[in-house]
Chain A
């Protein structure tokens, strides 16, 4: 079973700052099956990134995904007010699942 770990658990930043979110797996992943989601309170999750680095339709280019092997990163270059939310990584492969999430909150 593959376990995903996300860090930090909470990221306190100001609008305009850069956010770097980490997703580590207990073993190497299939990069084409690594995705990132954003969830705001009371809303369904939204797909941001799939295949490690491809932005989903309508996702602004301040969101960038990268990584390989067992370590993946979501970077938000300049936080906008609407970016404060919880972010989850997900892998589909051996035992599909989500990471526990990183909350990006206003400092």
Chain B
């Protein structure tokens, strides 16, 4: 069974750093992109970017370029989303999803990681 399992909820202070994870199983990790999507409280979906695990080719939305970093660890089939200095406006649910190279839709989703940034 294809599955993406994300790390647990986080409560952080503004200015702190954070890395959340997305572990894949049930398919060849290096052959599909992994995408990240933000959903702020009560709002819609925002496409953040995608990363190709085979070579770490990364494409960011202009809205998130420079604000977050996507990375992968091929040895553990895990993708990461990282911040160096969180802001209150980063409070959201973050989803990872598998993205096939054939159509770039997000066909399998993780359960989401809630990040709460508050002083």
A interface residues (Cβ-Cβ under 8 A, vs B): 1, 32-33, 35, 37, 39, 44-47, 50-51, 54, 56-57, 86, 88, 90, 92, 95-101
Return the 8 tightest CB-CB contacts between A and B, nearest first.
Answer: A92-B104, A35-B105, A50-B105, A44-B109, A98-B45, A50-B103, A101-B44, A96-B47
B interface residues (Cβ-Cβ under 8 A, vs A): 37, 44-47, 61-62, 95, 103-112
Of B46, B103, B106, the contact of A37 (CB 8 Å cutoff): B106
Once the chains are docked, how many angstroms separate the CA of A98 from the CA of B48? 10
Docked-complex contact A35 and B47, CB < 8 angstroms:
no
Docked-complex contact B112 and A44, CB < 8 angstroms:
yes
Distance to closest chain B CB from A74 (angstroms): 13
Q: How many Cβ-Cβ contacts under 8 Å join chain A to chain B?
A: 63
User: Chain B interface secondary structure, helix, strand, loop or mixed?
Assistant: loop
Which chain A residues lie closer than 8 Å to B107 at the CB level?
47, 50, 56-57
In the complex, which residue of chain A has the Cβ closest to the Cβ of B33? A92
Docked-complex contact A32 and B44, CB < 8 angstroms:
no
Docked-complex contact A44 and B111, CB < 8 angstroms:
yes
Once the chains are docked, how many angstroms separate the CA of A90 from the CA of B97? 14
Q: A95-B61, A95-B62 are in contact. Are A45 and B106 (CB under 8 A)?
A: yes
Once the chains are docked, how many angstroms separate the CA of A101 from the CA of B44? 7
Docked-complex contact A98 and B44, CB < 8 angstroms:
yes
Once the chains are docked, how many angstroms separate the CA of A92 from the CA of B37? 13
Of A33, A44, A98, A100, the contact of B103 (CB 8 Å cutoff): A33
Of A33, A57, A88, the contact of B44 (CB 8 Å cutoff): A88
